[in-house]
Amino acid sequence: MFKPHITVACIVQAQGRFLIVEETINGKALWNQPAGHLEADETLVQAARRELWEETGIRAEPQYFIRLHHWIAPDKTPFLRFLFTIDLPKALPTTPHDSDIDGCLWLSAQEILQAPNLRSPLVAESVRCYQSAERYPLTLLGAFNWPFAGDA
């Protein structure tokens, strides 16, 4: 049975700049969107909201669904990555609550697209998807008969 990792990511944009989290993996500083794994008791939108807060300290609601990427990492790990967008009126200060995150940066699209230290090619692809202006309502990702507390 095929069991891909299910992850969520947020493209957070403010005044033409994008929020990137920096983490050190194998001694190298790598850049990613605020992202992480879906937990068993949460919806995709709840996971995106939680990961954003854990990795940046920002509390904000995903506004749109952008894309689902089915990706196989170089180590052959399969992923389904759900990409959300959050547009903020201004860049907010960040305070990561996840000890794996070294800090956060507000960068231009060009800085991200040309960076040699992206955690995966999905980081740049997510920026390109954001720039394509395709947006889908969050209701596209419904939770059916959701048994857990909170919004679905």
Q: Total structural domains in the chain?
A: 1
The answer to whether 135 and 85 have CB atoms below 8 angstroms apart is yes
Residue 62 is predicted with a pLDDT of 97
Residue 78 included in any domain? yes
Residue 2 is predicted with a pLDDT of 85
Residue 23 included in any domain? yes
Residue 20 included in any domain? yes
Residue 147 included in any domain? no
d(CA 17, CA 15): 6
Helices and strands, counts by H and E, the chain: 3, 7
The domain spanning residue 111 has which CATH number? 3.90.79.10
Task: State which residues form the domain around 108.
Answer: 5-140
Residue 34 included in any domain? yes
Residue 74 included in any domain? yes
Residue 150 included in any domain? no
Residue by residue, pLDDT tens for the chain (152 residues) are 889 999 999 999 999 999 999 999 999 999 999 999 999 999 999 999 999 999 999 999 999 999 999 999 999 999 999 999 999 999 999 999 999 999 999 999 999 999 999 999 999 999 999 999 899 999 999 887 777 766 65
Residues 80-93 have pLDDT tens digits of: 999 999 999 999 99
d(CA 97, CA 62): 19
d(CA 147, CA 129): 33
> How many residues appear in the chain?
152
